A and B are shown apart, each in its own frame.
Chain A
Amino acid sequence: MRSVVKHWKIQRYSAIGNLVLALWLALSLMCIQGNSFEETIKWLKYPVNSILISLFFITSFLHMRLGLQVVIEDYISKVLLRKRLIIGINSLSWILTIMSIVSVLKIVIFN
């Protein structure tokens, strides 16, 4: 598959994923808003919550990465700067995805 077609498709699939996951997270966070550290840990340790939040980080960082790439391609005319920005955002979003999932795992296993 050509990479532009792949880009287009993944953008849509992740959008559908986010539709469910972002809504769930927004509602959940609203419920635990202002809770203490212990209560928040307890909330995250429910398997449903830890799985859904990990999925949320995967789909939304994917969606963010692809979306920002299009914005950069549209508004940054200098090719070299454009490429560097895209590489930077790609790397950053993967690093943050991994960091978030490691954080969830750490809490589930050690807290």
Chain B
Amino acid sequence: MSDKQTLESRPLSPHLQVYKAQITSVLSISHRISGVFLSLGLLTMSFFILLLALGKDSFFLWILFSTSFVGEVILFAWVFALSFHMFNGIRHLFWDYGIGLSITISKWTGIIVCFASVITSIIFGIILLELIL
């Protein structure tokens, strides 16, 4: 089959609400959601560098955003999404080599990913607070 055909005849993803939530399926969809959310973060990063290049007056917009309460909450949400996507991404990379694919192990690594991303975000958050205060 040519690439064009595979693209058009590919099955759609199953409807999520049909399945009972399990840690493996929840993490799988969270990986996608965090990835889409991080796309917005990347977009913001490219605007950060653009504003910096445009000069002092433009960069003031960034300072305004990143030091505001809402800005800090959004930045922290990106830190959380990034650490989750990163840890779960490592889990995916191991799967690509056929490591940790069994149900028991993937459940355990899923739990580890959750804890690791929460702990990393908390550490980031504390350091960030210390820097601000």
A residues whose Cβ falls under 8 Å from a Cβ of B? 2-4, 12, 15-16, 18-19, 22-23, 25-26, 30-31, 33-34, 36-37, 40-41, 44, 53, 57, 60-61, 64, 67-68, 71, 73-75, 77, 79, 96-97, 99-100, 102-104, 106-107
Contacts and interface: CB of A to CB of B under 8 A. Distances in A.
B42 A60 contact: yes
A4 B90 CA distance: 21
B12 A99 contact: no
B131 interface: yes
Interface of B: 3, 6-8, 10, 12-13, 32, 35-36, 38-39, 42-43, 45-46, 49-50, 52-53, 56, 59-60, 63, 66-67, 75, 79, 82, 86, 89-90, 92-93, 96, 124, 127-128, 131-132
Contacts of B89: 15, 18-19
Interface on chain B toward A: helix, strand, loop, or mixed SS?
helix
Q: Ordered nearest first, which 4 A-B pairs have the shortest CB separation?
A: A103-B53, A74-B13, A100-B46, A103-B49
Given A25-B45, A26-B82, 4 more contacts: A12-B96, A15-B92, A34-B66, A75-B13
Contacts of A44: 49, 52
Query: Interface SS of chain A: helix, strand, loop or mixed?
Result: helix
B65 to A, nearest CB: 11
Pick from A22, A30, A99 the residue with the most CB of B within 10 Å: A22
